[in-house]
Structures are given as C-alpha cells and as structure tokens.
Amino acid sequence: MVLSERFDLSDEMAELRLHFHMGAGHLESFQFGASNLRKGFGSGLTSGNANTAFYCAIQGTFYSIISAEKELNLLLQEIDYYLHLLKTYKSEMTRYYMLCYRETVSILIDKGDATGIEAKLCHDDVSDPGNKLLEVFYFHEVFRNHWLGYPERSNHYVKKYEELIEPRYFEAYIIKFYKGKAQSVYCCTTFTPGTHSRTSFYRYSA
C-alpha cells in the first residue's frame, strides 16, 4: 500500500485499501481501518469505481461503530451522507447495510427518539441467498441490546447468529465476545444512550 501511494496508483487505491483491511488489515486497529477505508471510499468515488467505494464505506462504517472511532453524532451524519449518495448510486444492498448501521447509531445516541428515521432494515428485508443481510441483522441486534443493557435479548440473537450456516469468521469472533459478556452480566454496567462520545462509548465495557 505504501508503494502504491508513492507511485500514485490512485485508480487502484480503493481496491487496495479494501482488500488490505479485509485481510492483513485485521491486524491493525479498527480505528485505523475505519479511517483508511474512509479514504478508500473517497478515492474510489473520485476514480469512478463506485462499487468498491461503497464496499469501503460499508466495512469502514462497521469498524467505526464497533471501535468507537468517531463521535456517534458525527458518524450518524456520515451515514446520512452515504444514504444521500445512494439516491444517485443505486445499490440496494449497500442501502440495507447503511440503514442497519444508522439504526444502531441512532439507538445508541437516544434510542432513536430524535435521531431515528422511518426507513429501517427489517427482518423481512434479510432474505438474500447468502444470508449476509440476516447475519448483519442478527449481529446488530446483539450489539445494540448488549449496550442498552438487555443481556437476555442480546444472547437470544447470539443463538440466532450461531444457527447461521458459515457466518463470516470475523463477525463470529466478535459475537463470541458479546456472548461471554452476556454470561457475565452480573458484573457489567449498562451503556446510557445520550452519552455519545468515543470515551463514554467504551467506558462501560470493562
């Protein structure tokens, strides 16, 4: 990737960033991945490679959410920007991902009271052949319910996730973390919606 930047391979940078963070990039911090994939989105869109650009946006937004890389209000604005662009760059799959991400961020901010929108990813939308959307749906139910202090509901979706055939290994490892957290709930503290800084997001994870 360093050589690509040195030789100004701008047309390929989006794909290089995406493939790096889908592979060896997992060894880097999620915060670094989110920032780098955000750059991949920009370079992909600039070079006319919209498909790769939005793949970068999907993965980068996911990294940002799970690592508290960005203030939640700012992340919500970024997701809304992607949804605005998707009115031009038609991709129903990307839209579904972003709606799911948006609902998670909105719920963590204020339970969707002021930041929610009518459009959402519903269970009826997640019947794609590879069950990738169903996997995303279950993952975010686990994530949201854990941070809102509903361990039984979170663990319910952990079990639903584990019933999937060949779920992606990366998300599966994170699911195992939240499963363990649910089983030790007696020593956990609830996330409070509204305390939406990067610091407060993980203040409750110890």
Q: What is the pLDDT of residue 7?
A: 40
In this predicted model, what pLDDT tens digit does every residue of 95-140 receive, in sequence order?
999 999 999 999 999 999 999 998 887 777 776 666 678 888 889 9
CA 118 to chain centre: 20
Rounded Cα distance between 99 and 88, Å, is: 16
173 band by pLDDT with thresholds 50, 70 and 90: low
Higher pLDDT, 167 or 149: 149
Q: What is the pLDDT of residue 170?
A: 54
Rounded Cα distance between 14 and 39, Å, is: 8
CA 167 to chain centre: 16
Q: What is the pLDDT of residue 2?
A: 46
In one-letter notation, the amino acid at residue 166 is: E
Q: Is there a contact between 140 and 102 (Cβ–Cβ < 8 Å)?
A: no
In this predicted model, what pLDDT tens digit does every residue of 84-96 receive, in sequence order?
999 999 888 899 9
Average pLDDT, the chain: 77
Q: What is the pLDDT of residue 11?
A: 54
Residue 46 DSSP code: H
pLDDT at 190 over 70: no
CA 35 to chain centre: 13
pLDDT at 164 over 90: no
Q: What is the pLDDT of residue 165?
A: 73
pLDDT at 8 over 50: no
Tell me the Cα Rg of the chain. 17
In this predicted model, what pLDDT tens digit does every residue of 13-45 receive, in sequence order?
666 666 565 554 566 788 888 888 888 888 888
Q: Would you say the C-alpha torsion 196, 201, 203, 205 has a positive or negative sign?
A: positive
Terminal-residue alpha carbon distance, the chain = 35
169 band by pLDDT with thresholds 50, 70 and 90: low
Q: Is there a contact between 10 and 47 (Cβ–Cβ < 8 Å)?
A: yes
171 band by pLDDT with thresholds 50, 70 and 90: low
pLDDT at 3 over 60: no
Q: Which of 17, 113, 104, 114 is nearest to 68 (CA)?
A: 104
Higher pLDDT, 49 or 80: 80
Rounded Cα distance between 23 and 199, Å, is: 28
